[in-house]
Structures are given as structure tokens and as C-alpha cells.
Amino acid sequence: MQLTVLGSGAGLPSKKRNTQSYILDAIDESNQYILIDAGEALQHQILHTNIKPSKIKNIFITHMHGDHIYGLPGFLSSRAHQGGENLPLTIYGPKGLKEWLKVTFEISCSRLNYPLNIIEVEHNTQIEIDKFKVDVHLLDHTIDSYLYVFREENKKGALNTEKLKEIGIKPGPIYADIKNSSVFEYEGISYNTEDFIGPEIKGRKISIHGDTRIVSDSEYLSLIDSSDLIVHEATYLDNENEKAHQYFHSEISGVLNNFNDISYGHLLLSHLSNRYEEEFLLRLDGELPPNVYLAHDFFQLPILHNSQGSK
């Protein structure tokens, strides 16, 4: 599993940064891509990747500001002609999303050739999609803006092949049959498969924020604690904490300080203002802890279990 950044900028695009969109690549886990937010020019950004629009089965919109949704109608229309015919798509997002898309499609006379399901979420909504459970948490912004916490389901532990060899079973297709069984028989003796399976593998946890002021209440911090990846906005990068608070956004030092007492594998700071020069961003990125990154367009980050990474 990995996260790909299709847009890392805040508000206005720049020559090097599109507005916010992310792809959670769960092809190996559930044969799908999950899209989070749909900034303007989303279609064009996807053309620079190997992502197949038809494999996007679920979309999560954090909030209804234009830099997070203006790419959505175009993407939905194009998906219909990019292998998406008859392949259902579900969109989750704030109240108003359904009406906005309905009006957009009616006025533009757009038609889709696949089932589209739009589900409007609220604070503490819990969602289940293939291989994931998703928690929804309301953040602190000028309009309703949400955090989505993706929890991958736990996986069966690894097969203890050495233990199988000890009872005389040599490697081969039988190993897969054994792992998928509850009881197996060998040379007239029955065995419980669980005796040959290692500990359950805990699913990964990915917390992706919409625009927000820094939130520090215990319920919120407990929700994102032990995330393998946190994606959080850092619109301000130069100690303008008061200005960030005034405009309902976050400043980088405040984000880092807020997460001092929780555990996480990686932290990706995104939604960066276009007023910062790339030279400044590169220098700042080099000064961050080894498991903290500044996002840029087409940045890719493998999502590992909660362990420290390095740049």
C-alpha cells in the first residue's frame, strides 16, 4: 500500500503544485485505488501516473471548498470513457455534495454510464468498504471539513513452513491449501491449521485530514494515535501561528508540537501555500525529523506499519 500525492498546494495552484488530491493505492490489498479530494486538473495529474480511473472505486471528499472539489465533475465524466463503464463508484463527502453534483451534471447535460452512489457524512460516521473501516471526524475550519481514518482489516498470520516441514510436508501448492483451511490431514493425522499460523498481522492505519486549525482535544488525538501515516495540512510554514489560526489553517511547528505525545509512523505535511519558493521548501524538508515529509506533486510514500522511516 502507498500514498501518491496528485496535488499538494493550498488554495491556488502554482506552476509546480496542483491543488489537493491524494490516491491511496490499495491494489494489492483490495484491487482498488481510493481517491481523497479532487483538486482542479485532477484528470491531467492522473495522466502523469499509471493510475487507472476505472480502478478508483471509492472517493472521499474532505470538504466543499473549490480547491478540493473542482476536479471532480471532469474526472467522473472521463472515467465513463476510461474503462469505467458499468463499474460502480461511491463518493463520500459533506452535506451539499450530492446537490452540487446533481446541478452540475444537469446543467452540463452530462451522463454517466456507471452507477454512482453519493453518501453524505457527518461527525462520527463509520464507513465500511472492502478491506477497510473508515472513521469520520469533524475538524475546525470555516465550513464542515473532515478527517478520514482508514483502518485496514487485520490479516491472518504467516504460515510456519518450518513447522510443516517437521511433520514431513514439503513446500508446494499444498501450503496455500493448508493456510486457507481450518483443519488439514496428513498421513492419516488431523491437524488444526491455527497451530501452524503465526500471530495475526495488524492492519495499517492512515489518517488523512481536510483543511483545519490545529485540533488538540483528547478524542481527536486518541483517534489518530498509532497511525502508520498521518496526512495533515501545513498551509503556513514560517511561524505565523496567529495568522494560521485566524484563517482556520495550521502552521507547521504547531502541528509537530501537537503530535509530540502520540505515536505515528510517518507524517506528511501538505496543502502548502504557493507563496513559498521551492528552495525554501527543500531546505525546510531537510531540517525535519526523518519520518516527517513536506509533500510535493507526485510524491509517493509506501505505508509501512508504525515504524520510523527515513528520507
Q: Which amino acid, residue 54?
A: S
Q: 239: how many CB neighbours lie within 10 A of its CB? A: 12
pLDDT at 308: 46
Tell me how far the alpha carbon of residue 73 is from its chain's centroid: 20
Mark which of 196, 222, 247 sits at the end of a domain.
Answer: 196
Distances (CA, A) of 225 to 122, 181, 221, 261: 21, 35, 6, 9
The range of the structural domain enclosing residue 232 comes to: 2-155+201-302
pLDDT at 172: 93
Q: 122: which 3 cell numbers?
A: 457527518
211 is in an annotated binding site: yes
* 135 part of a folded domain: yes
271 is in an annotated binding site: yes
306 confidence band (pLDDT: 50, 70, 90):
low
Q: Mention every residue, 6+ apart, whose C-beta is less than 8 A from residue 82.
A: 52, 53, 54
Q: 268: which 3 cell numbers?
A: 506528511
What digits encode the pLDDT tens for the residues 47-92? 999 999 999 999 999 999 999 999 999 999 999 889 889 999 999 9
pLDDT greater than 80 at residue 246: yes
The angle at the Cα of 308, spanning 307 to 311, to the nearest 5 degrees, equals 135
Do 234 and 250 lie in one domain? The reply is: yes
Do 100 and 172 lie in one domain? The reply is: no
What digits encode the pLDDT tens for the residues 272-299? 999 999 999 999 999 999 999 999 999 9
Which residues are bridge partners to 236 per DSSP?
251
Active centre residues (catalytic)? 67
* 311 part of a folded domain: no
Which residues are bridge partners to 201 per DSSP?
155
Do 118 and 228 lie in one domain? The reply is: yes
Do 231 and 209 lie in one domain? The reply is: yes
* 52 part of a folded domain: yes
245 is in an annotated binding site: no
pLDDT at 19: 96
63 is in an annotated binding site: yes
CA 280 – CA 8 distance, rounded (Å): 16
* 23 part of a folded domain: yes
First and final C-alpha spacing in the chain: 18
68 is in an annotated binding site: yes
* 26 part of a folded domain: yes
Q: Mention every residue, 6+ apart, whose C-beta is less than 8 A from residue 31.
A: 55
Do 279 and 183 lie in one domain? The reply is: no
Q: 223: how many CB neighbours lie within 10 A of its CB? A: 19
141 is in an annotated binding site: yes
Query: Which pTM was predicted?
Result: 0.91
* Collapsed DSSP state (helix, strand, coil) of residue 224: helix
CA nearest neighbour of 194 among 176, 204, 180? 180
Structurally, the chain folds into a number of domains equal to 2
What stretches of 99-226 adopt beta strand conformation (E)?
Answer: 116-120, 126-129, 132-138, 146-152, 183-186, 189-192, 205-209
pLDDT at 311: 53
